Amino acid sequence: MAEKVRNIRTTQTKQSLINAFIQLVSIKDFEKITIADITKGAQVNRATFYAHFNDKYELLGYMMGDSASTAILNRTQGEVKFDQASMQQLVLALCDFYQQPNIQCRSSYVSLVVPQLKDKAVNELKAYLTRSMEQILTADEKSMYVPIFAQMIHEGALQWATGQTVMSREEVAQRVAALIVGGFKVRNEYHTL
């Protein structure tokens, strides 16, 4: 029984830290947020923060957790296919990923946090693409195409998430998917020559 109470408290404390962080990052530049700011908002002491996280980057990593894989799963509904519609859903999944948590995209958030999240997102994309191309590519081809396609999908979503394009997320998804699938068709035509 004591273990159950401790787990509930730990969960509640972590959630308080997350809530305080989300509130802070929407009003303050990421690099200016201190552990003291977070602990004050969560109404806990510094030792409690450090019992759960090493720093604010680890807190953010915990918050993001497997949200990239969850976003992909939600958008693809668990279906693993390599077609234009699926590629569009991958771009939209990454757009969803970069909107979680619902934080204003302040310049410091983009410059400091996005690079850390990129690895998580790109690795999830690579896993999906590898599975989707299992029957249509050799191992050598997969080792070349999968990272390229993953980067294209990521960059399209990031362009949208950071406001570097005036296109809607749907239009970005459509164009990136067309490039990927179109490029793949060119590859197939090249191999039939």
Task: Kindly tell me if the per-residue pLDDT of 104 is higher than 50.
Answer: no
Residue type (1 letter), 187 = R
**Spatial distance between the Cα atoms of 61 and 154, rounded to a whole number of angstroms:** 18
Q: Could you tell me the CA-to-CA distances from 111 to 49, 61, 75, 108 in Å, in that order?
A: 24, 15, 26, 5
* Secondary-structure breakdown of the chain: helix, strand, coil percentages, each rounded to the nearest 5: 75, 0, 25
What are the structural domain ranges in the chain?
A: 2-63, 66-192
Using an 8 Å Cβ cutoff, are 76 and 89 in contact?
A: yes
Residue 82's CB: how many other CB atoms inside 10 A? 19
Which of 54, 76, 50, 63 minimizes the C-alpha distance to 24? 63
Residues contacting residue 35 through CB under 8 Å, at least 6 positions apart: 46, 49, 50, 55, 56
The answer to whether residues 132 and 67 touch, using CB atoms and an 8 Å cutoff, is no
57 Cβ partners below 8 Å, 6+ apart? 113, 116
Of 48-62, 91-105, 140-154, which range is least confident?
91-105
The domain made up of 2-63 has a fold known as: Tetracycline Repressor; domain 2 (1.10.357)
Q: How far apart are CA 125 and CA 131, in angstroms?
A: 10
Inter-helix orientation angle 139-161/84-98, to 10°: 50
- The tens digit of pLDDT for each residue in 25-53 reads 878 888 889 999 999 999 999 999 999 99
Distance, first Cα to last Cα, the chain: 70
Residue-wise pLDDT for 131-188, tens only, equals 999 988 889 989 999 999 999 999 999 999 889 999 999 999 999 999 999 877 766 6
Reported as a pLDDT band with limits 50, 70 and 90, residue 88 is: very high
**Alpha carbons 161 and 27: distance in angstroms, whole number:** 18
